[in-house]
Amino acid sequence: MMAVVLTWTGIVIAATLGIGTTILAVTKKRLKVVKSEVPGDKRRSVALTTLLSMTGVLVVGAATLAAIHTATSSFGSGASEPTATGHFLNPQIMPNYPIPTVPIHLTIYVTAHLQGDVLVIGNATTKNPVVTFESSSPTATNNTWSAYVSFGEKDNGGCFFNLWAVAMPQSLETYLLAEASISKPVTQSYWAASGLPPMPPATVLDHMIVQRNACQPRESCSC
């Protein structure tokens, strides 16, 4: 953009100089055949002064545009939009246990900076595309959210689960909960969906894989 402005400024300056030179030439010729009260040398001096003033204005204007462009570019490159961040506090990945073991029910904790969004926690078996999302609420500790999550059913012992911490606008969570509760007698705090919510406006902050504790004797388990 700046290159275009400077190019057109150069064209205008060149055109102005050319027109001014032509005017001076014509004026000089006319002074030979037309009598004037103003001497020719003085008239040419005034014209040249005017021409130089116009050129100076154009150059100053071009310099001003360049300065504005530089300042705007510097401001734009230095500014950055704040982003939501978060990670799981519980369950934890341990060096010797990269895939944590979880019971059928567990309170999940996530530390997050949400930039005005709310946090939901989704989970599904690694072989199941249907994700169950649970609303979470802030705990007493700043920037920490928690939710009581169920990892499948009783017969899902030993199964692997994906676990997601997702930030989304409050309005989107309210809508999804309302849709899930439309045929239920009371409002529920969870909903199921085929896959993750649209990105954006939702944002996946953290993801991990966990494993349900082993299938118990006399249980028929399946993933």
Q: Do 188 and 151 share a structural domain?
A: yes
28 occurs within a structural domain: yes
Q: For the segment 71-110, what is each residue's pLDDT rounded down to a tens digit? A: 344 434 444 556 889 999 999 988 888 899 999 999 999 9
Q: What are phi and psi of 141, to 5 degrees?
A: -80, 135
Same domain, 70 and 91: no
**Predicted TM-score (pTM) above 0.85:** no
Confidence of residue 56 (pLDDT cuts 50, 70, 90): very low
Mean pLDDT over the full length of the chain:
74
| The pLDDT of residue 96 | 84
Three-class DSSP category at 143: coil
Q: Does pLDDT of 182 surpass 70?
A: yes
Distances, alpha carbon 62 to alpha carbons 1, 10, 17, 54, in Å = 13, 9, 16, 12
Residues forming a β-bridge with 123: 132, 163
Count structural domains, the chain.
2
What is the model's pLDDT at position 49?
47
Query: Taking Cα atoms as reference points, which of 180, 116, 126 lies closest to residue 158?
Result: 126
- Domain's final residue, options 78, 94, 110: 78
Residue-wise pLDDT tens digits, 66-78: 444 443 444 344 4
125 pLDDT higher than 90: yes
Statement to judge: residues 93 and 57 lie in one domain: no
Q: Residue 31 sits in which domain range?
A: 2-78
Where does 79-97 have alpha helices with state H? none
Q: Is residue 221 part of a domain?
A: no
- CA–CA separation, 32 and 193 (whole Å): 92
pLDDT for 113 beyond 70: yes
Using the 8-state DSSP alphabet, how is residue 97 labeled? Answer: B
